[in-house]
Structure 1
């Protein structure tokens, strides 16, 4: 057997565990796992001695928004950041202008990504019309899932949120019921609108320069009440429900209380696992994120939930902004735009957590990759096994990543201040997407090689 690529000498994370095997790649897929002494002719050989070979990360929660906001980066810049961070597939949220809320707009997003993407991409859609025909059309167009908010559209952003905001419980139930019929997962930003409105009104009288004011305006109780409502509704609806960016110990407790009641999953993000409100206070509005980063006790509860699987996914919630957008409201946590970049740094920060004993490597990679592939129906991703897509990472777990502004690939590198200066144990040396080099430790591969992926596409091909 001859192959296109052989990756020799590495320690490979397979579904059976870490193994000293050679990964053989043909036509963008894993063609075999050979013994270390087995010679197989290959057109290209990568020496992975001293390295770990890991499945590519699947980031199930990412915002790119191009071309509506060119100052925040492009598909090329942000998927280059993904490749540099070991992410081989990104799932883009539908919050763009206009909102990705119809089959036609989903196809426009697909066609916008395709010429520039460095990594594979999937697209969420917003359910603008609550009919079975509309949901079937979004599924047929290849949506990876549906996204909704339980809160009203932010003032001035109605076009971005058209079809996303469903604050009424009866509408949320209808979304879940229709999604269950067509088999699409539903990802929810869960905060209770009435509690949020009251908290925001109270916070308006507090010091806008304090991160604690932002947290007071979006309290954990609003997250927990919305979560309890959704989980109760899903007992009746039977949808594949997924809760985005869980932030608090109280929310973790609620997830555990509903365990086994319906088909639901949940994620958190590195900024909630690595930081506290004191960090946000120190850095300022560049680090403002919705929902807010909370206390050290919340952070520890989230880590425990990631470790035991209550939170089965870690996602970036990458959101790029230009320095001028954050800087225009410096010192005002009430009006600053929410979001922080995280594509470059998510995997390195989680490898550092593995080095620190937070979790074992296999479990962490499952939260970052395998679980997302299973949950969203990408059967050929998230694992290093014969027949799987050759989406691979090579990492030196004994080396260090020093995060600098200049070294980041995202166009939002200047506002990535939560990460600036970090020294992380573990360093990525190469990212491969379908067996092609997307990042070699210094440079990204050619743009336009990323593919549109969906459970409706055959073997990851384009529609």
Structure 2
């Protein structure tokens, strides 16, 4: 019997202290060793990675598929296949579903549904529901990876999807932070001021609904920055492990800097905010509507500055597929359009393209979209690193290759509504994705099987 199952040879491997010309040995779903070229023991199979870069498999900490609800938008199978094609080996699913994942019963149901269908590893967020210790403790026992709340009210007609997740009242927000602080798990917040949203949405009723600018005017940056400032003030008392989702603008960046050191908080942004502006939304129309909105070039510049100085340490997809019919039904009407874009196949090529442009180093790019998240959520170094004993989750990339986006090249079920990314040509291409030592994507083809993904909890990773 060979000492190794697989040996990845000839590539540059991203280790915690940087790139190294080494070979990587995999055995029984784990990294067995890191070897100088030519010194590894015998392997049953080899992968020639010459000219390629070998990365720890990407961990996306902000993902939506909403399953088992709304299969017309995408399923666990379709969207984890897309994740594998994008180089992602672990995803953290948000609790919006029908009904909301805000009870122990629903958390267990979603866990079982994902386990039956996932091609890659998955973790599940929980919403704090009734804000009782009993419910909180049961969901922790089931293994939720973290918590999620919104500071906005439930969207009209979707109360059951946001029951126990949406807390527009500030007293309830403080109750949630205080209740969840003792768990030690991150609390992710979609932060926009409910009162300011109501004010600006009312004013926007007089504007042209087909204009992309109307969406920004109905949810301006101040809605986000005020909510973030209030949360960070609350957290000076609650002292929770707070994480601000999808930061979009310069004003919020200034707030984050102003509160530095006041509590344990972190912040993320997403590729749609780093690589596109309202001008791109105007071209793509309602297919590019997201909440909070995609902003302006000055905001994009501020986000890159925040990444450079460490104010923002996470880049996540906020992948949110919708059915073509749903988007089409709101054609020319931004207020009525469902918010979300399917970005799981965009994040790695986009960040590799940023590396090629000199915006950041490969190490920093990987930290932003993988290692930092694995550390924050207690999974490192099992996830997010290639060290002996780490999970054999690997993303192999051709940094000189090219990725183009069209309905024909995408794997997500929502490929026909990814207008924001159509026609983009990015330098950097995922060539192979390996989960627990098994190839789940290679050269354009998803090879991973249903049920291959494992349930990841704060106590257990592969």
The TM-score, its normalising length taken from structure 1, stands at 0.98
Match in the other structure for 1:205:
206
Q: Give the match for residue 74 of structure 2.
A: 73
2:52 alignment partner in structure 1: 51
| Equivalent residue number for residue 261 of structure 1 | 262
Residue in structure 2 matched with residue 312 of structure 1 by the alignment: 313
Cα deviation 1:240-294 (Å, max 9, x = unaligned): 0000000000000100111111000110000000111111111100000000000
Secondary structure, counterpart of 1:424 in structure 2:
strand
Shift of 1:139: 1.2
Alignment of 1:182-261 (within 5 A): 182-261=183-262
1:406 corresponding residue in structure 2 = 408
Q: Does 2:401 match 1:425?
A: no
Shift of 1:404: 2.0
Contact 1:140 1:456 in 2 (8 A): no
Q: Which runs of 5+ in 1 are unaligned?
A: none
Q: Secondary structure at the match of 1:425?
A: strand
CA deviations on 1:320-370 (whole Å, 9 max, x unpaired) are 011110001100001111011001111111111110111000001000000
In structure 1, the residue matched to 2:160 is: 159
Conservation of the 8 A alpha-carbon contact between 2:63 and 2:317: yes
What whole-Å deviation, never above 9, does each CA across 1:172-219 have from its counterpart, x for those lacking one? 111111111122211000001101100000001111011111101101
SS in 2 for 1:358: coil
Q: Distance in 2 between matches of 1:86 and 1:39?
A: 26
Distance (Å, rounded) in 2 between the aligned partners of 1:404 and 1:46: 29
CA contact (8 A) 2:350 2:426 kept: yes
**Inter-partner Cα distance in structure 2 for 1:182 and 1:321:** 33
Task: Give structure 2 stretches of 5+ with no counterpart.
Answer: none
2:322, 2:175 → 1: CA distance?
34
Partner residue in 2 for 1:299: 300
Give the CA deviation at 1:39.
Answer: 3.6
Q: RMSD between aligned alpha carbons?
A: 1.0
1:451 pairs, out of 450, 454, 457, with 454
Deviation at 1:110, TM superposition (A): 0.9
Q: 2:36: which partner in 1?
A: 35
- Supply the distance in 2 between the matched residues of 1:205 and 1:183 (Cα, whole angstroms): 46
Please state how far the C-alpha of 1:442 moved relative to its aligned partner. 2.2
Following the alignment from structure 1 to structure 2, what is the Cα–Cα distance between the partners of residues 70 and 285? Answer: 21
**TM-score, normalised by the number of residues in structure 2:** 0.98
What SS is found at the alignment partner of 2:19?
strand
In 2: Cα distance, 1:106 partner to 1:275 partner: 34
| SS of alignment partner, residue 317 of structure 1 | coil
The offset of 1:37, in angstroms, is 2.1
Q: Following superposition, which runs of at least 4 residues in structure 1 exceed 6 angstroms of deviation?
A: none
Of stretches 165-174 and 410-419 in structure 1, the one that deviates more from structure 2 is 165-174
Secondary structure of 1:438's aligned partner: strand
Residues matched between the structures, number: 459
Shift of 1:456: 2.7
SS of equivalent residue, structure 1 residue 71: coil
Cα drift, residue 131 of structure 1 = 1.8
Would the aligned equivalents of 2:189 and 2:244 in 1 still touch at CA under 8 Å? yes
Q: 1:393 — aligned with what?
A: 395
SS at match of 1:182: coil
Counterpart contact for 1:268–1:313, Cα < 8 Å? yes
| Paired residues of 2:149 and 2:166 also in contact (CA < 8 A) | yes
